[in-house]
Structure 1
C-alpha cells in the first residue's frame, strides 16, 4: 500500500521550497476536496450494498474520471491551482483509479493529506 501521507507531504514541501511560500489558498483546494468527498460518499454507499465488491460499476468510475474536468476548471481559473494540480499529479492519480475501490480510497486519502499538509506548511486561508 502506498504511503499517501508521505507523498502528499513531499508534494507540499516541494511546492513551498520552490516558491518560498504557498500562494495557493486552502479554499481553492478544498473545493476540489469537496467533490472528492462527494464521490467518497457514493463509493461508500456502493460498498455498503455490495460488501464483497473490489471494483465499482463503470457509471461510478466515469463520475470519478469526471473529477479531471473539475480539476481542469479550477486550474483554468487560477494558475496557482494549475501548478498544484501538476505537482501532485492529479490526472495520473485519477487515471490510475480505473474501477478499483481500493485505488479510489487511496486517492481520497491522498487528497485529504494534501489539504492537511498545505495548512500545516502555512498555506493561505
Structure 2
C-alpha cells in the first residue's frame, strides 16, 4: 500500500535542484520560492543575502536574457550528492561556460555559488 507524502515533508536536495531548474521557465516567484531570508548567493564580486536581494538578482538576470539564449542553453553536467547540487552549463555564444553549486538545507537553497564566463 503506497502512502502519500505529507504536505510538511521536506524536499530532498534532488527535488529542490529539479524545481530550481524548472523554475526558470515558470518565472521569478517560482525561482525565489527555493530560497529563504537567510539564503545567500556568492558571486564573483559580491554576496547577496536575503529574499529581496535574491529576487533582484534573478529579476535582473531574467530581464537581461537576450533573444535566442534559451535555445542555446545546454546542461553540460549536473549531479547531486547529499545536500549539494552541482551544475555546469553553457549558452554559447552568450555564456561560454557557467557553474552553479547549491547547498540545500531543510528543503531550500541555503547557499549558492554562481560563476559565468561570457
Output the TM-score relative to the length of structure 2.
0.31
The answer to which structure has the higher strand fraction is: 2
Identify the structure with the greater helix proportion. 1
